[in-house]
Amino acid sequence: TCARVLAYYLQSLGIGTYILSGDNYPRRIPMYNDAERISIFRHAGVRGLIDADLYSSERGKELKEMWIRDIDADPSSCQQYPWLATYQKAGRAALAGYLGTENEQDFKELEQVLSQFKNGASSIWLKRMGRTDTELWYDNVDFTAINVIILEWTHGNSDGFFGVDVPIFLNSTPKETALYRRLRARDGQTDSPFVTMVLEIEQAKLDAQAHKAAFILTKDGRLVSFAQYKEILAEELRSE
């Protein structure tokens, strides 16, 4: 990864470096977080139908069938069920209020780690989280020879997170992220309409936060300005 390459060069210059993964700091393990995301989307979607006076018992049954088939987040399903557009809009808005926020990620605990490091702590207890509810522990890591922490994390430039001194934005499209997840076997259904929606929402948030980055790095390794990044983004949207 880019973090490992950067750490290698810093180490070669005699600068002690530690790569800290933010993936250990969500509030729920992946399985439970995926369930929470889906629950938020579907509940808000149904409420959206009710508020728009579009819900009925029959549509509730149709929705259940879509849930079983995992197609309720698929925009193409709106062709057969026009009312589903209202459901998806409401669900997407609620999901955007959860993804990458303090409700999903434990910003405070990670901020405390960075604060301890900046205050000269010789060792810090770091959280480790696996993919099951029994894989949770802490390691006491020695920081006496560490001068730089590289926080490798999707949400390091989030508006609700503080403590990063030099934010670096690595640009990738939702399709590229989905491919990377498949290669890592990170999710069981990376091609599902719902996961696609999640990646689109996350990408929109990253794009909105990109102006705060000290450096923006493209997927082919070029450093670009924010203005150049916006041009690249526009070109990617036109090519889709």
pLDDT in tens, 5-43: 999 999 999 999 999 999 999 999 999 999 999 999 999
Asked if residues 198 and 95 have their Cβ atoms less than 8 Å apart, the reply is: yes
User: How big is the chain, counted in residues?
Assistant: 240
Q: Give the rounded distance of the alpha carbon of 187 from its chain centre.
A: 13
54 found inside a domain? yes
198 found inside a domain? no
pTM of the model: 0.89
Regions of the chain short of the pLDDT cut 70: 173-175, 177-190, 240
Pair of tokens at residue 210: 């990109």
119 found inside a domain? no
74 found inside a domain? yes
What pLDDT was estimated at residue 104? 98
Q: Which residues pair with 127 in a beta bridge?
A: 138
Q: For tokens 């499209």, what's the residue?
A: 173
For residues 194 and 73, give the distance between their C-alpha atoms in angstroms, rounded to a whole number.
5
> What sign for the dihedral angle of Cα 80, 81, 82, 85?
negative
Pair of tokens at residue 67: 């849930």
For residues 20 and 31, give the distance between their C-alpha atoms in angstroms, rounded to a whole number.
22
Could you give phi then psi for residue 124, rounded to 5 degrees? -140, 140
What pLDDT was estimated at residue 218? 85
202 found inside a domain? no
Domain that residue 85 falls in? 31-96
78 found inside a domain? yes
What pLDDT was estimated at residue 181? 58
Cα within 13 Å of Cα(118), Cβ side: 11
Asked if residues 143 and 123 have their Cβ atoms less than 8 Å apart, the reply is: yes
Pair of tokens at residue 11: 């180490």
Total domains, the chain: 1
Pair of tokens at residue 63: 């929705």
85 found inside a domain? yes
